[in-house]
Amino acid sequence: MYSNARAQKPRLTGELSSASGRLSVSHFNYGRGAEIFGEAEPAEYIYQVVEGAVRTYKLLPDGRRQIGAFHFPGDIFGLENGETHRFTAEAIVASTVRLVQRKSLDEVAQNDPAISRTILGMTTGNLAHVESHMLLLGRKTSLERVASFLLEMHLRSTSAGVLNLPMTRRDIADYLGLTFETVSRAMSELYRKDILKFEDTTRRHIVVVLDVQALAELADKRSQAS
C-alpha cells in the first residue's frame, strides 16, 4: 500500500532517457516558498525535482488548503493531460527543477509507444497514491494519519532510518487533513512511545524512526483481537 514512489515515478533521465535527445529541457531554481505553477494555469511544461522539495495543493476559496503530494529529487510532477494544471506547485525549500516542454514530449510520444506507456504508468502511479490517500483522509484517526505519513516518508527515503522532513508541521497537517497542533501532538505521542526520536534539538525536522513495525501497525490498524 505504501509503495515506493520512486518506483512509480520514473526519472526523466531514466525510462524517458531514450527520447532525451529530442526533448526540449531546461532547468530553473526556485527560492523557499516560490510558486512553480498555479492551479488553472496553462500546462506548458512537466517538471522533475532535481534538488530540494516541492508541494502541490488545492485551495478552497476561503483559504483552506489540501496538499495532494510532496515531491522529492527524481519525482515528476505537473503531468497533465488537459490544457491546464489542476494544482498549485511551490518549492518547500530552495529547489532546482528540470522543465520539459510538453509539446516536445507529446511529439516524441506520438511516435514512440514506449514513451506513451511510461506516461500512462506515471499517471497510474499518481492515481494509486491518491486513492490510498483518500482512505487515509476519509477514514483514519489523527494518530494513524501521522503514522502513515511517517511510514510513507520512511519508505520513500534513501537514507535508512533517518528522515529529513523539509516541510513544516502545517504542511504535514494540510497533507493529512488535520491542524498543525494535532500533528504536533501525534508526533509527541510517537516520541513518548519510543517509536521515533528527533535528531535536531527543537525544530524537529530530522526524525529517526526507531520502530518501523510499530509505525506500520499504527498506520494500518487492524481490530485489536489480542
Based on the shown chain and the rule CB under 8 A, indicate whether residue 73 belongs to the binding site for a second copy: no
Nearer to DNA, 101 or 179 (CB): 179
Cβ proximity to a second copy: between 9 and 133 the closer is 133
Q: Is 114 in the site for a second copy (CB under 8 A)?
A: no
Helix %, strand %, coil % for the chain, to 5? 40, 25, 35
Binding partner of residue 4 among DNA, a second copy, none, CB under 5 to 8 Å per kind? none
User: How is residue 205 written as a grid cell?
Assistant: 525536522
User: Considering beta carbons, is residue 119 or 163 the nearer one to a second copy?
Assistant: 119
Examine residue 203 and tell whether it contacts DNA (CB under 7 A).
yes
Determine contact, residues 45/78, Cβ cutoff 8 Å: yes
Region class of 141: left (phi > 0), else alpha (psi between -120 and 50), else beta: beta
Name which of 142, 203, 144, 143 is nearest 178 in CA terms.
142
Check: CB of residue 90 under 8 Å from CB of residue 96.
no
Min dist CB 169 to DNA, Å, is 3
Binders of DNA among residues 171 to 190 (CB under 7 A) are: 177-185, 187-188
Which of the residues 130 through 149 are near DNA (CB under 7 A)?
141-143
Find, among 170, 189, 188, the residue nearest to 179 by Cα: 170
- What binding mask, one character per residue, do residues 60-99 give for DNA by CB under 7 A, x or -? ----------------------------------------
- Interaction residues for a second copy, span 5-64 (CB under 8 A): 58, 60-64
Identify the residue among 66, 125, 204, 220 touching DNA (CB under 7 A). Answer: 204
Which of 120, 161, 188, 194 is close enough to bind a second copy by CB under 8 A?
Answer: 120
Q: Which is nearer to a second copy, 26 or 124 (CB)?
A: 124
Amino acid at 100: V
How far, in Å, CA of 58 to CA of 43, rounded? 16
Sheet of strand 88-91: strand arrangement: 35-37, 88-91, 54-59, 65-71
- What is the rounded distance in angstroms from the CA atom of residue 127 to the CA atom of residue 133? 10
- Spacing of C-alpha 173 from chain mean position: 14
Residue 114's binding partner among a second copy, DNA, none (Cβ under 5 to 8 angstroms by kind) is none
CB of 69 to DNA, least distance (A): 19
State the residues that interact with DNA by CB under 7 A. Answer: 141-143, 168-170, 177-185, 187-188, 198, 201-205
